[in-house]
Every structure is written in C-alpha cells, then in structure tokens.
Structure 1
Amino acid sequence: MSLAMAGGVSVAAQATAHASPGTATVKAAADSCAYPYVCLFKNGVKIGQFKDVTSTWQNLPSRPSGPNLVIQNTRRDDVAHIRWSTGTTTCIAPQRSFTVSGGTLTGIRISSSATC
C-alpha cells in the first residue's frame, strides 16, 4: 500500500459531489500528481497518494471531506473507486479528476479495469 496522509480534515454533513475538470484546483492537482498515482488534494495541498492496484479497500485514516477536496487519477488505464462514509462509492475514470463538494471519504481502491 502506498500512502502519504497529513493533517486532520473536518467532517461535512452530507455526501454530495460533482466532477469539475475545468477548475483551477483541478489544474493544480494535475500538475503535482505524477503518473501512476491517485492523489487527494485539500485546498490545493496534497494530503495523500496511492498507486497500488488492490482487491480490497485502503482505508483513509484522516477521513477527508469536501469542500475543496480533489481526487486526481493520473493512471492511464486503471479506475479509482472512492468510498463515502455512507457506504456508497464513486468511480473515477483514468486520467480524470473528481471534486468533492461535501461528504466524507473513508476508503480508496484502484482497480485494473479501464472503465467505470
């Protein structure tokens, strides 16, 4: 497991999210997350990175939450799944980013599947 987490993150009340590939925060994330990582950014600061394909969830000890949380998947043909505190999941396609506007994440899993 490749993991680098830093700092505590506040908890949001509701799990809501949206993709927003055109924002400055997403661009900053893409510029500082190298292949083959899936990186997490809070307010433009990298708080975690993962690179191992796993069949099980990797827990996020800091339980990051939105707003201003971006997940950047730099992998070329692997999807990344994120798990919310509610138990629901979201799939992030290869070479895409996902902006979390609210809600708390509890896990991440990188899959060798090329599509969500």
Structure 2
Amino acid sequence: MSIRKQFAALALTGALATGGLIAGAAPAAAAPSGAQATCPYPYACIIKNGSIIGRFRDVTSGWQNLPSRPRGPLQVVNTRNDDVVYIRYSSGSTACITPNTTWSTSSTLTGIRISSSSTC
C-alpha cells in the first residue's frame, strides 16, 4: 500500500488548511519558506501569526468543514509530494494548492479537501 493511502486511513488532526490557485480570484503571493518548515510532512497546515492552527493529512472525497472559519492573514502549506489540497472560501470560491507549495491568503476559510491527484 502506498504511503499516500496509508495516511488516508489516519485520523484528522487539527482544524484547518489553505492557499493556492484560486478559482474565480487571482492567486495569492507565495509565503516565506520558513512557514513551510513549521508544517511537517505529510500534512497540509494552516498557519496564522507563525503558529499552526490546523493540520490535515487525510485524503477525502468531500469537503471537511472548518468550524472555526479562520480569517486571514493565513499561510497554507501543502507538504505532500503527490497530492493537491483544495480550500474553500466563505465566498464559495475554491483554491487548489499544488504539492510542496506554500501560499498566503487574507480571506476566511470554510473547508478543506486533500485529493490524491498530483495536479489541479
């Protein structure tokens, strides 16, 4: 079984994740590389003010709602090597974060989904 599928079976830890190529909006600027060092592989993390406020590692077919609805400024880090991360904004638009990418956003997030696809 691949590492990706092994991690898909593990439980969600934390409450958040974000960033990327936003459908219906311009992409956010890349975050400083130091933010990525704080998020361990194989997680997708949401970072606010230098602290991880949520970590996700499960591949899901549907959205995982974010009950805290975090507001920017946020950094979203995708440390995964083969999986994209989708985020959903309060406006209903979505973003796709490619593998090994860090993005910044000033929007409010409402959901996250990790896909086993390696491209958006």
Q: TM-score range by the shorter chain?
A: 0.7 to 0.9
Residue 41 (structure 1) aligns with: 47
Residue 38 (structure 2) aligns with: 32
1:1-116 mapped onto 2 (5 Å cutoff): 1-5=11-15, 18-21=28-31, 23=32, 27-67=33-73, 69-100=74-105, 102-116=106-120
- The alignment partner of 2:12 has SS state of coil
Distance change in 2, residues 1:115/1:53 (3 Å): same
Deviation at 1:16, TM superposition (A): 7.5
- The alignment partner of 1:75 has SS state of coil
Number of residue-to-residue matches in the alignment: 102
Contact 1:40 1:71 (8 Å CA) reproduced: yes
Contact 2:60 2:115 (8 Å CA) reproduced: yes
TM-score by length of 1: 0.80
Any stretches of 5+ residues in structure 2 without a counterpart? 1-10, 17-24
Contact 1:28 1:44 (8 Å CA) reproduced: no
Residue 9 (structure 1) aligns with: none
Q: How far apart, in 1, do the equivalents of 2:72 and 2:27 lie?
A: 8
C-alpha RMSD over aligned residues: 1.9
Ranges of 4+ aligned residues in structure 1 off by more than 6 Å: none
Deviation at 1:19, TM superposition (A): 2.7
Deviation at 1:28, TM superposition (A): 2.9
The AA in structure 1 aligned to 2:13 is: L
- The alignment partner of 2:92 has SS state of coil
